[in-house]
Chain A
Amino acid sequence: MSIRTVRRISQVFFLLLFLWFCVAMNLGDRWWQLRGWPVNWFLHLDPLAALATVLTTGVLYAGLLWSVVSLVLTLLLGRFFCGWLCPLGTLQQGIGWLGQRHRTRQRQLEKNRPHRAQCVKYVLLTVLLSAASVELLRAALRAPWEHTTIFVPAAAAGVLMALAAAGRSGGRKTAVGILLATVVLWAALGAVVPSGALVAGSLHTGLLDPIPLAYRSVNLVLLPAADHQLQTLSPVPRYYAGAALIGMLFASILLFSLWIPRLYCRFLCPLGALFGVVGRYAVWRIGKTGGACTDCRQCDRFCEGACDPAGRIRQGECVLCVNCLSGCRQAEMGYRTSVSQGGEILSPDLSRRGFLLSLAAGASAIPMLRLDGSLAANWPADKVRPPGALIEPEFLRRCIQCGQCMRICPTNVLQPAGPSFGLESLWTPVLNFRIGSSGCQFHCIACGHLCPTGAIRPLELDERIGRGEYARKGPIRIGTAFVDRGRCLPWSMDRPCIVCQENCPVSPKAITTIEDFRTAIGGDLTLLSADPTVLEFPPGSLETGRFATGDFRVRVTGPAGSRLRTIVSNTDRFVQITESDPLDPVPAAGTVVQILIRLQKPVVEPHRCIGCGVCEHECPVKGLRAIRITAENESRNPAHGLLLS
């Protein structure tokens, strides 16, 4: 079996494994459901997610320790991950093969020629990691001001050393000048760099990192779309807000590989760039063994990484597709520990200036994004995060937008945030109570247990519902319900309802009702005659049967009156009331009678409301709900508190 066949088997195996993990991400205990399948494994292997979260939080969280395995293997073997394992790479390679199949040899060679734009992925990697490490960069810039006692002596020592080292030659002035200029520039930048709230690590690698991207695309677009037809994975069809944007990015990546094989891997993939940087030290590497090469360029023809194996091989671009090994007629190409006889290019095609500019671009993006005040006074009220989500700045340091929480959420209420929640929050999880089979279920803690980076904490059920040792703290609140009295049926339209109260899951309920009786017909009625349980009015006074629903009462003025009696049935002139409470004394003809409807008007008790949104989900006013959740009083942020105690 050729090494290329082994690589193909590996790719197919890992692609199927990845798809299987996506399918198995269903709550349940059957073999095809989530019952211990390591569905996050591909994310755990992702060193970009690991490195970026380490930069933002200083911690290598839980399963991300696996990423050390992929890094170490890359240090030994090169970019095996891209060529042998990455599901997005495999899909692109398959589609790229379709595109290349009918091209002439010359066109195939053209398509696989190294391109200047392959450096873009290094730019993206730098920008994303710089945005993640913006606090570290800021601390470095602030050193002259915050660590003056160290900085000033160090700078002075530097100047003295430069004076000594440069000796008497003419370089002395230049060296000292450069050093002094550096010190001044450093201090000046340190003085103007924005402070505090505007500068905090923010994680955006997930937007382009192929592993979260693939999970997000399959979980939130492909599987739900297929399941709308099959109705197998989920009994209730699943919807994801803004799925089109996620799906179009995914489809574009795949379709563009028809034009240029592995276009995304070569030009854009930040994870590939990271592997490329690490892979320069690879112990084993592809290269010419020397001597026999006839320069037929068969190796270039099928090169997936566009790394120019026939010429000076760009080791950082090689995805270890090993097509050159299997394709070479002279057995000239080898995978060895020695340097290629054709020469090697190790460094990424990115100049120092380009690197510094990318660094600056990434670092300045975060303060600009936060100038919108979305983490200060302008926080979006409808940004309701799942229970266990960390406070917003900490959340944004960790979320890689992989969509695992939204896929496992049994009710489908967890949704990818659209641009209206702020660009920084794009595709992070927010609750949308209009979508799904219910609100955020009281006895559910699924999302936090799947979150690969700890942006949502894994909660115990006791903590979630405020039981046992958490009884004093009470349940976790993600927001508060507000009744819109202008839209609520009992409040504004004199129609009974209280579906919200009925479905409130906490005990005692966070929605109580105020009983009210409102006149059901315009004006009063005048009695013609009566007996203890039947009242007679002029013919045509009433709509037959309308008041027999159990919700209507009569009020008789006068001595028998004040107390309300339930109507059992009515015709256009007779009203029968319940036999258990007859009229005594029987009112006289001419008595004024009112027909009232009994209403229960919902009121939220804010100290009990947990913001689960079951009420908003169930509210029969389906357009703009008459009871809605906003993030007020959420447990994770005391600054959003609503009550004094």
Chain B
Amino acid sequence: MKKEDTAEAIDRRAFLIRVAKAGACAAATGAGAWLLHKEEVRTHTAEDAGAAIPDYSLTGRKPALVVVRGASRERTLQRAVSGLGGIETFVSPGDRVLIKVNAAFASPPSLSATSHPDLVAAAVRMCRKAGAASVSVTDNPINDPASCFALTGIEAAARSAGAEVILPREKSFAAYTVPGATLIRRWPVLIEPLLAADKVIGLAPLKDHHRSGASMTLKNWYGLLGGRRNIFHQDVHTVIKELAMMIRPTLVVLDATTAMVSNGPTGGSLSDLKRLDTLIAGTDPVAVDAYGAHLLERPIAELAFIALAEQAGLGTADWRSLHPDVMDL
């Protein structure tokens, strides 16, 4: 117990010390309040990520798309890419490559709701062979991310082929505004792996999609969005167009080896699948998706995002005018 606690009578010295302490406390309270005081309400708004997502595309390349028919994804991919000029045209030695797969659902590869692990592995190996310094594979799936990458076989395939799998951690997202966009404004985007990449490749399976018509290479970029992204389904075609504005990829691959023709985009049964034994690779994602719609036998008019993307100058909806090579293995 301290002396002042027990003092019975107070002397002048103790009294002055007490007054000095009380005065110091009062002064500190006043000073603190004065420093913290503000008249206006402080608001908090999300800050945009500082950097812009670069344009990864190689503009004006001919041909814009190549179609290869065959059952082996590895061989059709190789053939399609060599038809586009070889992987060396896309990946230079020392490049850091990001592969955006579709790992949306925690379902096995046999159900074709996600990018096939064989295709992922083949793409990774191809980039590695071209001298890529690093290859990363990422997606922000709909189901639980870790389960999705594990159950789809993508994680194992990517790892064994020499790629790093980037799970969508909270810290990898930042608010981003797509220039000229009306929907993707200050929206969380999986930006960290994008900014760390020199080249971006999209690998998408061809799938039925009730709301947008079909899920292909453009819709695949949905997996770069975070937050309450489902709200964009109110205007799904516009958001797909804006995603196409956000990401100008180096190369996209549409895998229609076994396409999901019904009950998409989740599928869930082998009866939802149809063997088309076709793979399309290209630098014009709009043309590639238009070809995909053709494979699904859907009129382009029902897939409004294709026309919207074309109007935004992101590619050519009329794939026939590009005279794509169609090769059989």
Residues of A within 8 A of B (CB): 26-29, 231, 234-237, 410-412, 436-438, 441-444, 489, 495-499, 501-509, 513, 548-551, 566, 568-569, 578, 580-581, 600, 614, 618-620, 622
Contacts and interface: CB of A to CB of B under 8 A. Distances in A.
Q: Which of B169, B171, B230, B267 has the most CB of A within 10 A?
A: B230
B146 A410 contact: yes
A296 B276 CA distance: 90
A137 to B, nearest CB: 45
A234 B299 CA distance: 42
A465 to B, nearest CB: 9
Contacts of A619: 230
A498 B235 CA distance: 11
Contacts of A26: 146
A498 B266 contact: no
17 contacts: A26-B146, A235-B168, A236-B145, A410-B144, A412-B144, A436-B144, A437-B143, A438-B143, A496-B236, A497-B234, A505-B107, A507-B271, A509-B263, A509-B266, A550-B237, A550-B308, A620-B231
Nearest to A236: B145
The list of the 6 closest CB pairs from A to B, nearest first, reads: A550-B304, A507-B268, A507-B269, A235-B167, A437-B144, A620-B230
B305 interface: yes
Interface string B140-173: 0011111100110000000000000001111100
A27 B148 CA distance: 11
A442 B308 contact: no
B210 A513 contact: yes
Contact of A411 (B147, B230, B266, B268): B147
B75 interface: no
Q: Interface size class for chain B?
A: 35 or more
Nearest to A579: B301
Contacts of B265: 502
Nearest to A489: B234
B108 interface: yes
Contacts of B68: none
B106 interface: yes
A28 B150 contact: yes
A443 B235 contact: no
A620 B106 contact: no
A320 B147 CA distance: 45
B107 to A, nearest CB: 6
B307 interface: yes
Interface string B99-125: 000000111100000000000000000
Contacts of A513: 210
B160 to A, nearest CB: 13
A443 to B, nearest CB: 6
A236 B105 CA distance: 16
A350 B146 CA distance: 52
B186 interface: no
Contact of B106 (A444, A548, A578): A444
Nearest to A618: B230
Contact of B268 (A235, A438, A505): A505
Contact of A502 (B211, B234, B262): B211
Contacts of B263: 507-509
Given A496-B233, A600-B211, A235 B145 contact: yes
Contacts of A28: 146, 150
B5 to A, nearest CB: 21
Given A231-B171, A600-B210, A507 B272 contact: yes
Interface string B301-316: 1111101100100000
B105 A505 contact: yes
Interface in B272-314: 272, 299, 301-305, 307-308, 311
A568 B167 CA distance: 38
Interface in B53-79: none
Contact of A231 (B105, B169, B209, B235): B169
Contact of B235 (A549, A566, A600, A622): A549
A622 B302 CA distance: 29
A622 B228 contact: yes
A550 to B, nearest CB: 2
A57 to B, nearest CB: 32
A614 B302 CA distance: 27
B291 to A, nearest CB: 18
Nearest to A412: B144
Nearest to A500: B230
Contacts of B211: 496-499, 501-502, 600
A441 B271 contact: no
A614 B108 CA distance: 17
B217 interface: no
A164 B237 CA distance: 98
A29 B234 CA distance: 39
B9 to A, nearest CB: 33
A618 B142 CA distance: 8
B308 A548 contact: yes
Contacts of B147: 27, 410-411, 438, 441, 444
A479 B134 CA distance: 46
B209 A411 contact: no
Contact of B210 (A438, A498, A507, A569): A498
Contacts of B302: 566
Contacts of A508: 262-263, 269
A368 B68 CA distance: 72
Contacts of B268: 442, 505-507, 509
A382 to B, nearest CB: 22
A496 B210 contact: no
Contact of B142 (A231, A444, A503): A503
A550 B302 CA distance: 8
B233 A443 contact: no
A438 B234 contact: no
B136 interface: no
Nearest to B271: A507
A328 B113 CA distance: 71
Contact of A236 (B144, B234, B303): B144
